């Protein structure tokens, strides 16, 4: 059986049928927007990314572009355990490990993230045993002119220079096993 739904449409009154008055009403709406935007361009909600960047509201900034946290001595907290690059569903993290002289023994010689592949799922942050990788830089990745040029040059390719950064007024965290080891040895050395 076919079920039908009857939609009652209101019959047009005389002024609506003439259409001229409705045209003027329509114009009053579009002209209002036109003149407000013409004389106050700052009211246009568009952001000219990448020239112009805005702070993300609330917890949205916990899903912004990646960074690797630093220790108090400036070395990266990452120990090149490959957990993040293993769990990454988009396969966008590339790490090459190397040895250090410090008790931590391992550090990432190359750490690249291809943001054009990244799906912003945050699994790398969950997986990190050292609390090293995080997505709290408050920068939105995207709107770039070239995929493989550097992030600093409006590209989408992150290397160590952009990843290993310290945020403004950030407290150095001492979480993470290897980090605690490093801290303990560091304190003993001091």
Partner 1 sequence: MEEFIKILSPEYINLTLSNILLNHKNDIYLIIETVLKIAAFYGGIMSLAGLLTIGERKISALMQDRIGPNRANIFKFTLWGLFHPMADGIKMIMKEDFIPKNASKILFTIAPVISMVPVLVVFAFIPFGNYLDLGFYKINFIILDSDLSFFLLIAISSLAIYGTFLGGFSSGNNWGILGAIRAQAQMISYEVVVVLSVLPVIMIYSASSLSDLTLKQSGTILGIIPNWGIFVQPVSFLIFFTAALAENKRTPFDVVEGESEIIGYFIEHGSMRFAAFMFAEYVEIILFSMLASIFFFGGWQVPYLNDQGFNLGSFFIPINHYLIVLMQLASFALKTVFFSVLVIMIRWTLPRFRFDQIMRLCWANLLPISVLNLLLTALIIRGIK
Pairing mode, strands 93-99 and 67-68: unpaired
* Contacting residue, 16, 33, 62, 167, with partner 1 by CB under 8 A: 33
Contact flag: residue 44 with partner 1 (CB under 8 A): yes
Judged by CB under 8 A, the stretch of 22-30, 62-70, 74-82, 126-134 that binds partner 1 is 22-30
Interaction of residue 46 with partner 1, rule CB under 8 A: yes
* E strand or H helix that includes residue 27: helix 20-39
Q: How many residues bind partner 1 (CB under 8 A)?
A: 16
Q: Can residue 153 be called a binding residue for partner 1 (CB under 8 A)?
A: no
| 65 in Cβ contact with 92 (< 8 Å) | no
Rule CB under 8 A: say whether 31 interacts with partner 1: yes
Among 30, 42, 59, 189, binds partner 1 (CB under 8 A): 30
23 near partner 1, rule: CB under 8 A: yes
Contact yes or no for 96/109 (Cβ under 8 A): yes
Q: Would you count residue 9 as binding partner 1 (CB under 8 A)?
A: no
Query: Counting contacts by CB under 8 A, is residue 45 touching partner 1?
Result: yes
Return the number of the residue (45 or 57) whose C-beta is nearest partner 1. Answer: 45
37 binds partner 1 (CB under 8 A): yes
∠ CA(47), CA(53), CA(55), 5° rounding?
110
Stretch that binds partner 1, among 24-32, 64-72, 85-93, 180-188 (CB under 8 A): 24-32
Rounded to an integer, what is the distance from CA 175 to the centroid of its chain? Answer: 23
d(CA 57, CA 156): 23
Residue closest to 121 by CA, chosen among 110, 135, 108: 135
* Buried/exposed 111-129: b ≥16 CB within 10 Å, e otherwise: bbbbbbebeeeeebbebbe
- Chain contacts with partner 1 (rule: CB under 8 A): 20, 23, 26-27, 29-31, 33-34, 37-38, 41, 44-46, 48
């Amino acid at each position: 059986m076919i079920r039908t739904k009857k939609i009652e449409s209101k019959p047009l009154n005389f002024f609506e049928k003439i259409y001229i008055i409705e045209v003027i009403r329509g114009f009053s709406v579009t002209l209002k927007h036109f003149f407000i935007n013409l004389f106050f361009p700052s009211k246009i909600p568009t952001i000219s990314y990448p020239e112009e960047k805005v702070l993300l509201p609330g917890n949205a900034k916990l899903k912004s572009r990646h960074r690797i946290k630093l220790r108090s001595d400036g070395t990266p907290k990452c120990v090149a355990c490959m957990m993040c690059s293993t769990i990454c569903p988009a396969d966008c993290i590339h790490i090459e490990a190397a040895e250090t002289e410090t008790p931590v023994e391992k550090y990432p010689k190359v750490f690249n993230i291809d943001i054009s592949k990244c799906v912003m799922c945050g699994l790398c942050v969950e997986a990190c045993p050292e609390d090293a990788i995080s997505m709290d830089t408050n920068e939105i990745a995207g709107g770039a002119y070239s995929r493989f040029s550097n992030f600093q040059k409006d590209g989408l390719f992150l290397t160590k220079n952009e990843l290993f950064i310290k945020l403004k007024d950030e407290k150095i965290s001492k979480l993470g096993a290897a980090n605690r080891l490093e801290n303990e040895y560091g304190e003993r050395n001091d």
